Amino acid sequence: MKLIYRGLLLSLLIFTFACSSLSEKDTADTIFINGIVYTVDDVNTQIQAVAVKNGMITAVGETSTIQKLKGENTKVVDLQGKTMTPGFIESHGHLMGVGYNKLELDLMYVKTYDELVAKVAEAVEKAAPGDWITGRGWHQDKWIERPDNMVKGFQTHDLLSAASPNNPVYLRHASGHAAFANQKAMQLAGVNRLSIEQLSSQVEGGEIIKDDLGNPTGVFTERAAGLVGRLVPRDTEEKDDQALEMAIQECLEKGITSFHDAGSGQAFIDRLQRFKAEGKLGIRLYVMLTGRQPELLDAWYEKGPMIDPDHFVTVRSIKLNCDGALGPRGAWLLEEYTDRTGHFGHETLPMEVVDEVSAKGLELGFQVCSHAIGDRANREILDRYETAFINNPEGAKDHRFRIEHAQHLSKEDIPRFGELGVIPAMQAVHMSSDRPWAIDRLGKQRIEDGAYVWQDLLKSGAIIPNGTDAPVEPVDPIPSFYASVSRRTLAGLPEGGYEPAQKMTRDQALRSFTIYGAYAEFEEDFKGSIEVGKAADFTVFDKDIMTIAEDDILKTKVAMTIVAGKVAYDAGLK
C-alpha cells in the first residue's frame, strides 16, 4: 500500500508541476487592457487589449479575453480608455542634433532678428571672451517681421556682430543647409571682402552671401558654411553622451520607439552600441552611414551591413546629400527660383557618386537614401537609381532605395516612385512650416503640380514613411500627423488646408508613422503593427487621434511609451 501511495503522490506532484509549468508558459509578463487599440494590421482592426511576454506580443483581443492570460506575476496596465497604436517610428531625423538642440541656443521659436540677437547677447553675458556661441533653428522666412537690411532674402551680420564683438558666433539655419556668423567668426575664418572670391571657388555647391559692395553678410549656404563651421571646437565625449541621453529621453516623451538616423559616422555607431551594452539605449536605431566620409563607406563595404538580431542598432543604409534646402534657395531645381532670377539651387554632391554608391549598395546589400528636395535633384537621383536597377536586376529585387524629403517633384517623375519601388521618405510637418513661403520660391503652378504631393505618390504605388527631420522641426510626431491630415499650418491656416486633394486619410497618416516606417527599414515583419509575434512597441495617447476633431489633434499628449514590452515613459496622465 505504501508503494501505491508513494506512486500516487509522485504522479500528483508531476501533474501539479506540469500544470504550473503550463500555466507559467501561457501567462503574460504584461497585459494592457481597457484601451482603444489600433492594430494597423491589413484592415487596421480595433481591439481593447494586448498581452506581452519577453518583449513580444503574444495575444490581442478584447479585455475579457486578454485578462485570462493574467498570472501571479503578470503586470496589468489599465489604459483607462486611452488610445494605443504601434510605436511611432521617426523615419528621418538626426538624433545627436535633437540632443544638442537642448545644449546650445535653440532658435527654433525665434520670431524676429532682434529676438535672435537678444538671445545671443544673453549667451555672451554668460561666456568668457573668445568662447564660441553656437545654436540652431533660425529661419528668416518664418519671422513675423523682416529686418530692414536684407540681401538675397537673408539678414546681415551687423546687429549680431555689435552684440558679440569678442565672441565668435555660428548659428545654423533650421534646415541645416545654411549658417549665420558674426564678424569675429568670419575674422577667424579669414572671410572678408578681399578673400571672398578665392574662398567661393573652394566651396562649389555653396555660396557666401555678399552685399552690393562685395562684403560678406555673414550668411553661408550649403558647403560654404564649412568655412566657419570647421573652426567650431569639437564636442567632448562627455557632452556627446549627455546629448544622446537627452535625445533618447526626448524621443520617449514624444512617443517615438524607433528612429532612423539620417547620416552619421562611426563614432555615433560606437556610442549607440556602448549605450545598448550599458542598458541605456531606450529606443531602436536604424542608422544611415554618412556619404560625406568616403573612407567610412569603404570600411563598411568591406564588412557589409550590421543587422542587429536584437533590433536595437542596425546599420544597412547610406545617406547621400545631393542638394540643398528650399529655405536658403539651395534645393536644385529644373527651372529658376521665382524669387531669384537666374538661380537654380545647388548640386551638393557629384551625381557620379550616386551612380557609384547605388551600384555598390545593390552589390553589397546596402540601402541607398539620397537627400533631394528640388525637382532637378529628384529626377537626377531617380535616373541613377533606375540605371543601377537595370544593371543589377538580382540585387534590385528588394532594394527599398529611398529619396529623403522628395518635397518638390516634376509631374513626370511622380509615377516613377511607384514604378521603381523607390520610397519617398517625407516629413509632413515641412509642408505645414514651409508652404506659406515656399510659394514665393516656386510659384503657384509648381506648388500645385509637385510640392508635398502625398496622395499622388501613394496612388503611384509608393509608400510614404513619415517623420520630422528633427532638429529641423521638433521631434514631436503629433504636429506632423496633424499636417498630414489637415495640410494646414500649426496655426490652423488656411481653412480647408493647402492643396487639400493631397491630404492623407488618418489611416494613411497612422501607417506612415508605423508600418510604413518599419517597411522603410526592412522591419515590417518585426514591428510597425500590433499583431501576435511582433515587438511590443506601443505609443499611448490621451486622445483618440483617429476620431477626434481635427483641431484637437494638436492638443493630444503622449501618455505612455512602451519599448519591448516595458514602459519606458509614463506621463502619469489620468
Task: Give the DSSP per-residue string, 295-364.
Answer: HHHHHHHHH--B--TTSSEEEEEEEEE-B--TTTT-S--SS-BTTBTT----B-S-HHHHHHHHHHHHHH
The torsion of the CA quartet 486, 492, 497, 502, rounded to 10 degrees, works out to -30
Q: Could you identify the residue written with the cell 499628449?
A: 557
- Predicted pLDDT at 10: 37
Q: Could you identify the residue written with the cell 503550463?
A: 22
Domains of the chain plus CATH, in order, are 1-81+530-574 (2.30.40.10), 89-94+259-529 (3.20.20.140), 97-229 (3.10.310.70)
Interatomic CA distance for residues 485 and 314, integer angstroms: 31
Q: Which amino acid is at 142?
A: K
Closest by CA to 430, choosing from 401, 457, 463, 404, is: 404
- Predicted pLDDT at 162: 97
Average pLDDT, consecutive stretches of 10 residues, N- to C-terminus, the chain (574 residues):
40 36 74 98 96 98 97 96 98 95 90 96 94 93 90 95 96 91 96 88 85 94 92 91 97 98 98 98 98 97 98 98 93 96 94 98 98 98 98 97 98 98 98 95 97 98 97 95 97 97 98 98 98 98 98 98 98 83
Cβ contact 568:537 at 8 Å: no
Interatomic CA distance for residues 114 and 495, integer angstroms: 31
Question: What cell does 408 get?
Answer: 518638390
* Helices 375-391 and 351-364: angle between axes, nearest 10 degrees: 40
- Predicted pLDDT at 198: 84
Per the rule left: phi > 0, alpha: psi between -120 and 50, beta: everything else, 182 is beta
Cβ contact 484:502 at 8 Å: no
Q: pTM of the prediction?
A: 0.87
Closest by CA to 345, choosing from 235, 247, 244, 223, is: 223
Cβ contact 561:255 at 8 Å: yes
- Predicted pLDDT at 23: 56
Q: Following DSSP, what letter does each residue of 493-512 receive, concatenated?
A: -STT-SSGGGPPPHHHHHHH
Burial environment of residue 511 by CB neighbours within 10 A (0 to 12, 13 to 18, 19 or more): buried
The helix (H) or strand (E) run that includes residue 294 is: helix 294-303
Interatomic CA distance for residues 522 and 398, integer angstroms: 9
Q: How many other β-carbons are positioned within 10 Å of the β-carbon of residue 394?
A: 7
Strands 133-138 and 169-173: parallel
Cβ contact 533:276 at 8 Å: no
Beta bridge partners of 46: 38
- Predicted pLDDT at 176: 85
Closest by CA to 517, choosing from 256, 263, 217, is: 256
Q: What are phi and psi of 421, to 5 degrees?
A: 75, 25
- Predicted pLDDT at 418: 98
Q: What is the largest CA-CA distance in the chain?
A: 113
Q: Could you identify the residue written with the cell 508600418?
A: 515
Interatomic CA distance for residues 502 and 546, integer angstroms: 18
The residue count for the chain: 574
Interatomic CA distance for residues 263 and 136, integer angstroms: 18
Question: What cell does 481 get?
Answer: 500627423
Q: How many other β-carbons are positioned within 10 Å of the β-carbon of residue 276?
A: 17
Closest by CA to 319, choosing from 268, 246, 264, 374, is: 264
Residue 204 is classified by DSSP as T
Q: Following DSSP, what letter does each residue of 362-395 receive, concatenated?
A: HHHT-EEEEEE-SHHHHHHHHHHHHHHHHH-TTT
